[in-house]
């Protein structure tokens, strides 16, 4: 009897010890570097945002946030890496609306379930979108572009960040609304698409404004229209697609931070609080603004989760109408 009592006491003590170690691990988080996977290539608008946030979080917590770019397959490669990682809060993903709300409807199957295999932390940014052209194309407005496309059906090439990406859908929506035919050229992200555009390999690209602001201001690219409901504050002289005669063509991007499912709620709360503080700082807000984006601070995990679901429902209709449902 005494032996059984001693065993029970030891078992209880071991369990309490394990709980204590786990609690200490939560209290000490983060005690080592945090890996932030970005689903776009280095130099893209998403990458710039992620690096700004990572630097601020490093300063805030005294532990390095390391950006790890995993572009390709419209973000699926990076997302799958995070879905299969240990749910301890040390591997996170920075992803866009295309990856989170559109992929589930465009791809016949994904190696993960976006809603089940990830824990939303917070929305991080709102990313206005637009169409940029090579200045050598000689067009000054969206209507000029449409006129040229009608005169040269199928001969103008537009770049996107990948098949089924939000930037791809922008091109398809405009083509349908304007009654034009253009050739889609998918890339593995913003950086290679814009590189080819500046080199004259393609005539235009549909893109987030984040990542093109400096190129437009330097005259290397020409922004001829934006896709929001109102003109963008960073480019007040550039009309919207809506103003140009296509009222149904409206598209706004967004980005957010997620962890693999199973990360303890205390860590998720700490991550949300830290990123809210960082995104609300003047330097981060200004850095996002310089890239044509807007930092979003204070979005809760629940609110971000609802955004992913509601945007998915909205995009599913647009994707179906564009004939892209289950095409990949």
Which pLDDT belongs to residue 6? 56
- Residues 6 or more apart in contact with residue 40 via CB below 8 angstroms: 46, 47, 69, 71, 75, 96, 161, 189, 190, 191
Please name every residue paired with 157 in a beta bridge, in sequence order, or none if there are none: 183
Long-range CB contacts for residues 146-154, cutoff 8 Å, separation at least 24: 146/178, 146/180, 149/178, 149/180, 149/181, 149/182, 150/179, 150/180, 153/180, 153/181, 154/181, 154/182, 154/183
58 by Cβ neighbours in 10 Å (0-12 / 13-18 / 19+) ranks as: middle
Q: Using one digit for the tens of pLDDT, what is the confidence trace for 220-247?
A: 999 999 999 889 888 999 999 999 999 9
Residue 98 backbone zone (phi > 0: left; psi -120 to 50: alpha; other: beta): alpha
Query: For 94, phi and psi rounded to 5 degrees?
Result: -110, 115
What average pLDDT score do residues 297-315 get? 92
DSSP letters spanning 43-105: TSHHHHHHHHHHHHHHHHHSSPEEEEE---GGGHHHHHHHHTS-SSSSEEEEEEHIIIIIHHH
DSSP letters spanning 196-264: HHHTTSSSEEEEESTTTHHHHHTTSSEEEEE-SSS--TT-TTSPBTTTTT-TT---EEEEEEEEETT--
**Most confidently predicted of 58-72, 179-193, 200-214, 223-237:** 58-72
Which pLDDT belongs to residue 19? 46
Question: How far is residue 276's CA from residue 127's CA, in Å, rounded to a whole number?
Answer: 17
Residue matched to tokens 């179906």: 320
Q: Residue 120 has what DSSP assignment?
A: E
Q: Give the residue from 324, 327, 312 showing the smallest Cα distance to 170.
A: 324
Looking at per-residue pLDDT, the higher value among 320 and 77 belongs to: 77
pLDDT at residue 7 is higher than 70: no
Q: Using one digit for the tens of pLDDT, what is the confidence trace for 70-113?
A: 998 889 999 999 999 999 999 999 999 989 999 999 898 999 99
CB neighbours (10 Å) of residue 306? 13
Q: Which fold has domain 34-127+253-321?
A: D-Maltodextrin-Binding Protein; domain 2 (3.40.190)
Q: How wide is the angle at C-alpha 141 spanned by C-alphas 136 and 142, nearest 5°?
A: 110
Question: How far is residue 151's CA from residue 71's CA, in Å, rounded to a whole number?
Answer: 35
Instruction: For domain 128-226, say whether CATH 3.40.190.10 is its number.
Output: yes
Give the HSE-up count for residue 50: Cα atoms under 13 Å, Cβ half-sphere.
Answer: 29
Looking at per-residue pLDDT, the higher value among 259 and 16 belongs to: 259
Length of the chain: 328
Which pLDDT belongs to residue 72? 84
Which pLDDT belongs to residue 327? 74
Task: Identify the three-state secondary structure at position 108.
Answer: coil
Which pLDDT belongs to residue 2? 53
Q: Using one digit for the tens of pLDDT, what is the confidence trace for 245-258?
A: 999 888 888 999 99
Q: Where are the domains of the chain?
A: 34-127+253-321, 128-226
Mean pLDDT score of the chain: 90
Q: Beta 183-186 vs 157-160: how paired, if at all?
A: parallel
pTM value is: 0.79
Task: Identify the three-state secondary structure at position 285.
Answer: helix
Q: How confident is the model at residue 17 (pLDDT cuts 50, 70, 90)?
A: low
Q: Let me know if the fold of 34-127+253-321 is the same as that of 128-226.
A: yes
């Amino acid at each position: 009897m005494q032996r059984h009592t001693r065993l029970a006491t030891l078992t209880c003590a071991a369990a309490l010890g394990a709980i204590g170690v786990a609690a200490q691990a939560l209290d000490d988080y983060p005690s080592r570097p945090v890996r932030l996977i970005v689903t776009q290539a280095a130099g893209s608008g998403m990458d710039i945002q992620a690096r700004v946030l990572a630097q601020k979080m490093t300063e805030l917590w005294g532990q390095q946030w390391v950006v790890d770019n995993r572009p390709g397959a419209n973000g699926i490669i990076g997302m799958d890496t995070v879905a299969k990682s240990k749910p301890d809060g040390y591997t996170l993903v920075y992803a866009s609306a295309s990856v989170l709300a559109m992929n589930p409807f465009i791809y016949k199957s994904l190696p993960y379930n976006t809603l089940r295999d990830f824990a939303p932390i917070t929305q991080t940014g709102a990313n206005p979108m637009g169409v940029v052209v090579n200045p050598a194309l000689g067009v000054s407005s969206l209507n000029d572009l449409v006129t040229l496309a009608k005169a040269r059906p199928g001969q103008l090439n537009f770049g996107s960040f990948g098949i089924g990406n939000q930037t791809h859908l922008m091109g398809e929506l405009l083509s349908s609304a304007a009654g034009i035919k253009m050739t889609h050229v998918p890339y593995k992200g913003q950086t290679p698409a814009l590189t080819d555009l500046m080199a004259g390999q393609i005539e235009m690209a549909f893109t987030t404004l984040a990542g093109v602001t400096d190129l437009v201001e330097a005259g290397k690219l020409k922004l001829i229209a934006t896709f929001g409901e109102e003109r963008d504050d960073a480019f007040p002289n550039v009309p919207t697609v809506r103003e140009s005669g296509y009222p149904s063509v409206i598209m706004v991007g967004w980005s957010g931070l997620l962890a693999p499912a199973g990360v303890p709620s205390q860590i998720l709360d700490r991550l949300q609080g830290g990123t809210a503080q960082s995104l609300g700082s003047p330097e981060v807000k200004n850095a996002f603004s310089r890239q044509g984006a807007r930092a979003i601070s204070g979005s809760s995990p629940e609110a971000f989760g609802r955004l992913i679901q509601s945007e998915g429902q909205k995009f599913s209709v647009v994707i179906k109408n564009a004939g892209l449902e289950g095409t990949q």
